[in-house]
């Protein structure tokens, strides 16, 4: 339940100590992970039902070369059906592999904040929340309570403008549009506004894709005002003309 070469632009590898999820907000409507479980039923024998995968826990310990690892690309680590004892096991693996950088992303911001004080947060863990529209900006408030070394926001799939975000305590913002068949379009001005807010708040900005189908307009096509924005936390100068 891992991939050493991820196609996700802002990470290098993926690691899935759990798989499956349930939908909690409009950003989940066209879930790519659910589609993957449908395409590979032999791999995901429980379909998209939340499944613990303890056999995957040790995978990062076998990766000697340092990697940036997206945790649970196929699930949500802070889903209510993931026992807190299992969360402790996942965090223990991350603590024992300081050569890697781990990126954890959740829509369950309330549970994240509730259990955060009982978890050991090593310096190599970056914690983020998804915010697809103004109705879910409150997730950032819960993220601010978490003692992660890096806190980030994923505005993907961006379904509406996110004006006047409070980015206090936030280090990084990733933005992207929806990209599968039937995708909901994102407006260029939404991304431009997020970029400008990040500049004003000294927050790293990464424009993953503008969205669309069949082309998601990512990579060299993810351009705002003639520039690509691929900043990472701690490296605000990564702007590509």
Banded model confidence at residue 239, pLDDT cuts 50, 70, 90: very low
| Other beta carbons within 10 Å of 237 | 6
Alpha-carbon distance of 205 to 117, in angstroms, equals: 28
Longest dimension (CA), the chain: 48
Banded model confidence at residue 235, pLDDT cuts 50, 70, 90: low
In this prediction, residues 56-60 reach a mean pLDDT of: 97
For the chain, what are the domain ranges?
A: 1-114
In this prediction, residues 199-215 reach a mean pLDDT of: 91
pLDDT in tens, 155-199: 999 999 999 999 999 999 999 999 888 889 999 999 999 999 999
**Total-model pTM:** 0.93
| Other beta carbons within 10 Å of 207 | 26
pLDDT in tens, 81-96: 999 999 999 999 999 9
229 bridge partner residues? 239
DSSP 145-183: TS--SEEEEEE-S--S--TT---TT--EEEEE---STTP
Alpha-carbon distance of 141 to 149, in angstroms, equals: 16
């Amino acid at each position: 339940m891992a991939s050493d070469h991820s196609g996700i632009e802002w990470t290098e590898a993926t690691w899935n100590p759990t798989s499956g999820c349930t939908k909690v907000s409009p950003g989940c409507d066209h879930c790519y992970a659910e589609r993957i479980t449908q395409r590979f039923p032999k791999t995901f024998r429980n379909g998209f039902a939340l499944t613990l995968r303890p056999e995957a826990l040790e995978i990062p310990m076998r990766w000697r070369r340092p990697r940036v690892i997206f945790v649970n690309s196929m699930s949500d680590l802070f889903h209510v059906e993931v026992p807190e004892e299992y969360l402790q096991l996942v965090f223990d693996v991350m603590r024992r592999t300081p050569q890697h950088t781990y990126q954890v992303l959740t829509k369950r911001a309330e549970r994240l904040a509730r259990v955060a004080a009982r978890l050991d947060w090593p310096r190599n863990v970056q914690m983020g929340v998804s915010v697809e529209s103004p109705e879910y900006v409150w997730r950032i408030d819960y993220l601010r309570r978490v003692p992660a070394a890096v806190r980030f926001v994923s505005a993907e799939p961006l379904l509406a403008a996110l004006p006047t975000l409070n980015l206090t305590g936030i280090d990084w913002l990733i933005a992207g549009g929806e990209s599968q068949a039937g995708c909901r379009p994102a407006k260029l001005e939404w991304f431009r506004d997020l970029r400008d807010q990040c500049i004003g708040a000294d927050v790293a900005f990464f424009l993953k894709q503008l969205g669309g189908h069949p082309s998601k307009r990512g990579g060299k096509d993810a351009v705002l005002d003639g520039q690509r924005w691929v900043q990472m936390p701690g490296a605000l100068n990564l702007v590509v003309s």
